Structure 1
Amino acid sequence: MSESWVNSAERIGSDLLLDLAGPGSRRAVLIRALRRAVREGRLAPGTRLPPYRSLAANLGLARNTVADAYAELVAEGWLTARQGSGTRVARRAAPVASSRVPRKVPHRPAGPVHDLRQGRPDTGSFPRTAWSAAARRALNAAPNDAFGPGDPQGRTELRRALADYLGRSRGVRTTPERIVICSGFAHALRLLSGCGILRGRLAVESYGLGFHRSLLDAASVRTLPLTLDGDGARVGELAGLSGVRAVLLTPAHQFPTGGPLGPERRSAVVDWARGRDGLVLEDDYDGEFRYDRDPVGAVQGLDPDRVMYAGSVSKSLSPAVRLGWLVLPERLVAPVLAAKGEREAWASVPDQLTLAELITSGQYDRHVRRMRRNYRDRRDRLVAALAERAPHIVPTGIAAGLHAVLRLPPGTEQSVLKAAAWQGLALDGLDDFRHPDATDRAPDGLVVGYAAPADHAFAAAVEALCRALPPAP
């Protein structure tokens, strides 16, 4: 006889009573309801939940909605899933006794409850279905030599796809022969410093990632800061820096302060490179994501022989996909390849083929457009919450990327960071990104990464942020 679903500690029927009222997507509401059922003890530890199809039919939801909700709760530790055992309530997910008296003494959470740190995309939005379908198509079509030792320059399929994509979306002027695949921008810095293209003294923006400065310092490359204003780096200062023949910039969206490099300065830095026989390294870390207008084209398009262009999928797809690219002047391809070695040791060839298929099929463009809408909505919600709860806190920079800078009253940055930590909120202060030799200092501020929290957790993260902000003077 076939086994039926019954309400018990072992299995639960598909007629499980769940309250699906409240704001948010159907997926978010279902996740919230399942968590509540576990906390209240209506779903005991070890209880086996109905299959996706059964629960979806009973609740009038799409099967994928239930599947995604289960996957999210498995990732959070509320549920477990094993082949042949189904999806169960985790043994450690014991309900909280209703008679428990709340603690009256405030205490700091053991770890971050909310994550608003910069540089983190929405991992839940990774295009799993499109990626897996592209992987199947790519591997089925791949020639046998794709499974041998990897070419250090990267697979031709990916370099051709990137040459087309970067040309039409970012205004990059290149051919596949001038592209070298790497595992991300940090790897690009190691390659460029390892082969001597970046050496001696390198001009950088006065605010940026300390991790990148540390990599350069380890390669005996001394970084000299250029001051910043509303038009980006003051590239006119390059003329006064002796021995400097290269500069690292984030022209589309200065990291982290948020402004673009002004049109006159874009031309000026290219003219400087031509006159000094120098180079510009353009870090286009989030150039696809601009919300108030079409993205500005890459500086590389002004002079492909003087500008090296670097990008990756760490913001558009996921930092777990270790793929990036360098678009180089023709004369620099050989030394970079010599620094990589005879075989590809960093970038997975199957991943390269998959990304190439994702781009050529149009799925990558569709994903970027979808994430552009999602991140624009996240930013709008953040700005609206600030306008309502803390109108004296002003977001600065352009509407772009995965982070926003919030200007704070003078002398409050460190106290706000401490208050955020007490709220269980992981957050970056603007001063953490300042070059130690910088002569300029930006006003106190927060670098708020609005992409990282899951959709269902975003409102709570913004609420925690608002509670940590200082009151109006």
Structure 2
Amino acid sequence: MRESRTNSGAAATDLLLDALDRDSGVALHRQLEASIRAAVRAGRLPVGASLPPSRVLAASLGVSRGVVVAAYEQLSAEGYLTSRSGGYTRVNAGPETAPAAEPPPAPAPAAPVVSFNYGRSDVSNFPRAAWLRSLRRVLTEAPAERLGYTSGQGDPEMRSALAAYLNRVRGTVAHPGDIVICSGYAQGVALLVTVLAAGGRGGRPIAVEDPSSNDDVWPLAAAAGLGPAGVPVGEHGVDIAALEGVDAQALVLTPSHQWPTGGVLPAEARAGVVRWARRTGALVVEDDYDAEYRYDRAAIGAMQGLAPDRVAYLGSASKTLAPGLRLGWMLLPRRLVGPVVEAKLRADRGSPAIDQLAFADFLAAGELDRHLRRMRPVYRRRRDALLRALARHLPRLRPAGIAAGHHLVAWLPPGLDEAAAEQAAAAAGVAIAGLRRYYLAGNGPPGLLFGYASLSERAIEDGVARLGAALGSHGS
């Protein structure tokens, strides 16, 4: 045993001889701690190995004994080492054997030259100066209690500013007490699904438009055992005739700009959705994700104004300002406010107060209105550049959903396979998505989704030209 201690102690000394860099500016005992910790984690000092006595290691390293003692004590407190009677220090935790060398990471795929992927607003135009002014004001003027834990519903200043804005711009019937602040649409709809699943509505499914976004409601509803159930979409949005036969406890809808096809639900269809909701007792979840960017006329008002007791309105700053803000809101029927606030508190104890206060000031100062007025013509020029490029390079594709938002759909002509088009585009350095993944059953008219908000007009022209050349006679 004595031989083992001597041998392992000598081996440890050899491992640690190069542990210290006296010119690094880091305290010597911290450097020694890091070196021993790394050796234990890597298995170079296995469990049970003895470390040299503090005096011996200090002499070998040319440092005071206190440096070694401080390192040993810290690592013992963390559980890496243990000291035994007689002064021996051993490795107490770590891999039993040295880990196998990990294979090198696979090389990252080459970045596309042009990406038409959806969801990329132009964050380069974020109004930094105006946002900074709002931040400075709230940091200077906000009451101290606003920096404590929130109620979960959201700061009253933001809820008041939002109610005024939504009533003025989106035609809602909003009261600050009916608004719950969240960290974006994804969290908002997740909270609603949680509340619906706990409501005991007999397992009735959640209905979604077909096609629709597949990365939020679909997996949530499936995990909760609530479907989803698809309702077909026509040229102008959800098919009301098909909806009449649906028995669901909720319908997730994008009436102001159907995602992804771009249709705008007409007045008679909106009234039909409300009649269906009242007849079945269902909740309509209105995803108002980008309606402020309408180019041919004033934006259509929100459905919530037609039936505040049956419609839960969800919005966010992701498309209007920047997704990185992680700010969203729910305007709810009064009966749902309490359960959703409870779910929000369980999820994260409430959204960040400083961001809410800054956004409230930003709204009240009219900065969001000014930002939208600046960005509408920018996005419209990019949309127009995309339409011109499609007409020039891919005339057989049929654009749709062009009235608003950050994207459009181009329906493919007969004979052009969607998967083949995606592959040809990728080979040409163009990232673009087909629509088949957004159909619940994977079946529907083939098309390509063109997101244009983050691209310059030159990049749009280049991307469509590359795509046209890649598709060859299929698209010409």
TM-score range, shorter chain: 0.7 to 0.9
Contact 2:180 2:329 in 1 (8 A): yes
1:292 aligns with 2:296: yes
Q: Does 1:447 align with 2:449?
A: yes
Question: 2:121 aligns to what?
Answer: 121
Shift of 1:344: 5.3
Aligned amino acid, residue 445 of structure 1: G
CA drift of 1:454 comes to: 5.1
Q: Is the 8 A contact 2:149 2:349 kept in 1?
A: no
Distance in 2 separating the partners of 1:346 and 1:237: 39
**SS state at 2:325 partner:** coil
Q: Which residue of 1 aligns with 2:434?
A: 429
Residues 148 and 348 of structure 1, relative CA distance in 2, 3 Å threshold: same
Q: 1:402 Cα shift?
A: 0.4
- TM-score between both structures, scaled by the size of structure 1: 0.73
Is 2:383 the partner of 1:384?
no
State the alpha-carbon separation in 2 of the partners of residues 429 and 176 from structure 1: 40
The residue identity in structure 2 corresponding to 1:308 is: A
Conservation of the 8 A alpha-carbon contact between 2:389 and 2:460? no
Partners of 1:221 and 1:452 in 2: how far apart?
Answer: 36
For 2:174, the equivalent position in structure 1 comes to: 174
Equivalent-residue separation in structure 1 for 2:367 and 2:357 (angstroms) = 14
> Does the residue aligned with 2:215 lie in a helix, a strand or coil?
helix
Is 2:333 the counterpart of 1:329? yes
CA contact (8 A) 2:418 2:446 kept: yes
Bigger Cα displacement from structure 2, 176-185 vs 451-460: 451-460
- Structure 1 partner of 2:72: none
SS of the counterpart of 1:395? strand
* CA deviation string 1:141-181 (max 9, x = no partner): 21101111122101111111110111111111110000000
1:150/1:343 contact within 8 Å kept: no
| Cα contact 1:311–1:326 (8 A) shared by 2 | yes
Q: Which deviations, in whole Å up to 9, do the C-alpha atoms of 1:184-204 show, x marking residues without a partner?
A: 111112111212268631111
Calculate percent identity across the aligned residue pairs: 45
Tell which has more relative contact order, 1 or 2 (C-alpha 8 A, sep 6+).
Answer: 1
- CA shift at 1:282, angstroms? 0.5
Task: Please give the per-residue CA displacement for 1:196-230, whole angstroms capped at 9, x wherever unaligned.
Answer: 26863111111111112112212222111111111
- 8 Å contact kept, 2:382–2:456: no
Aligned CA RMSD, in angstroms, stands at 2.0
Q: Is the 8 A contact 1:311 1:324 kept in 2?
A: yes
Task: Check whether the contact 2:255–2:265 (CA below 8 A) recurs between aligned residues.
Answer: yes
Deviation at 1:348?
Answer: 1.7
1:134 aligned onto 2:134: yes
Q: Indicate the residue corresponding to 2:467 in structure 1.
A: 465
Quote the residue 2:240 is aligned against.
Answer: 235
Give, as a single letter, the amino acid of the residue that structure 2 aligns with 1:264: E
Aligned to 2:28: none
Contact in 2 for aligned 1:109/1:423 (Cα 8 Å): no
Matches within 5 A, 1:279-428: 279-341=283-345, 345=349, 347-410=351-414, 411-428=416-433
The answer (yes or no) to whether the contact 1:184–1:314 under 8 Å persists in 2 is: yes
Q: CA 1:469/1:348 → structure 2, altered by over 3 Å: closer, same or farther?
A: farther
Query: Match of 1:209, SS?
Result: coil
Task: Tell me, yes or no, if structure 1 residue 111 matches structure 2 residue 137.
Answer: no
Instruction: Please tell me whether Structure 1 or Structure 2 has the larger radius of gyration of its CA atoms.
Output: 2
The offset of 1:381, in angstroms, is: 0.5
Contact in 2 for aligned 1:287/1:295 (Cα 8 Å): yes
- The 3-state SS of whatever aligns with 2:462 is helix
Task: Give the Cα separation in 1 of the matches to 2:464 and 2:128.
Answer: 27
Structure 2 Cα separation of the partners of residues 111 and 387 of structure 1: 27
Q: Distance in 2 between matches of 1:380 and 1:401?
A: 13
Which structure carries more helix by proportion? Answer: 2
SS at match of 1:131: helix
2:228 is the alignment partner of 1:223: yes
Identify the match of residue 255 of structure 2 among 251, 254, 264: 251
Q: What is the distance in 1 between the residues matched to 2:457 and 2:243?
A: 44
Distance in 1 of aligned mates of 2:174 and 2:394: 46
Paired with 1:456 and 1:151, the residues of 2 have a C-alpha distance of 48
1:470 to partner: Cα distance: 4.3
Q: Find the aligned partners of 1:402 and 1:460 in 2 and give their Cα distance.
A: 18
**Distance in 1, Cα, partners of 2:195 & 2:448:** 37
Residue 459 (structure 1) shift: 4.0
Q: Distance in 2 between matches of 1:329 and 1:391?
A: 47
Deviations 1:33-68 (A, max 9, x none): xxxxxxxxxxxxxxxxxxxxxxxxxxxxxxxxxxxx
Superposed CA deviations along residues 294-314 of structure 1, whole A, max 9, x for unmatched, are: 110011110101111000011
Cα shift at 1:412:
2.3
Q: Which runs of 5+ in 1 are unaligned?
A: 1-107
Looking at structure 1, the residues matched to 466 and 134 of structure 2 have their Cα atoms a distance apart, in angstroms, of 39
Q: TM-score, normalised by structure 2?
A: 0.72
Question: Structure 2 vs 1, CA of residues 173 and 111 (structure 1 numbering), >3 Å: closer, same or farther?
Answer: same
